Amino acid sequence: MMKEFARIGQKTDYSFQAKFFLNAYWKEFAKEAETVWEFTHQFIELDKKSDKGSCLDEFQAHRLLEKQGTVLTVVEMRKALKEIDLDTDNKMSLLEYCVWRYKVDIAELMIRPQGTNKALEEIEEKIKLIQSTITKVRKYKKKWDGKPVPSEGPKKVIYDQDMAQLSGAEKALEENLDFAMKKLRGAQNSKDMVAAGKTWWLQRELEEAKKYAAPKKKVVK
């Protein structure tokens, strides 16, 4: 049981760990979901591997606790980190932090059902595609942000090509968002709410992704 707990904290990304915890303790900590979302993204910001990371080193963990408003001396901080580092690898996973922060039992955490269904798996795959598309949209918007639109020559050709890529990416983003939102509504209407934490998390990710979707054009009558 402890071996599997350590594996999740060392080998899975922060998003997976957050969903794992929320699935297990949705009944008790549903109201904490937004807080879990916030500190998960603090982990991601502090980790050099960003959202691909799984745990923070001692220095990064120290900064995380400071961000959470935990003011401790170096000695007190190391003592706190020792308490959090349940698998004794000198690092702090998000799952370890959740266990420490919410005072839950690891044995209980690891036997609680996670649950999933095909719809949620499909949504997760779409979200990965959506996030990749958002990166592409950001790239082209950043490239031309604040720059004058070229009227002729090679720069005009490059600009037109980039705008075509941007338009295609925004269209794909909108289509994938529509698909994922429809799938999510179906999952939310399902009687199987064992994966309630994951369902909430996916909805939150889609809400963030919608900020990058191109606004729909109004039809002028």
Amino acid 218: pLDDT: 44
Decide the pairing of beta strands 55-56 and 92-93: antiparallel
Q: What is the 3-state secondary structure (H, E, C) of 50-95?
A: HHHCCEECHHHHHHHHHHCCCCCCHHHHHHHHHHHCCCCCCCEEHH
pLDDT in tens, 96-136: 999 999 999 999 999 998 877 778 888 988 998 998 999 88
Q: Do residues 40 and 94 lie in contact, with contact meaning Cβ atoms separated by under 8 Å?
A: yes
Lowest-confidence range among 35-49, 129-143, 181-195, 197-211?
A: 181-195
When mean pLDDT is compared over 14-18, 127-131, 136-140, the highest value belongs to: 14-18
The model carries a pTM of: 0.81
220 φ/ψ angles, rounded to the nearest 5 degrees:
-85, 120
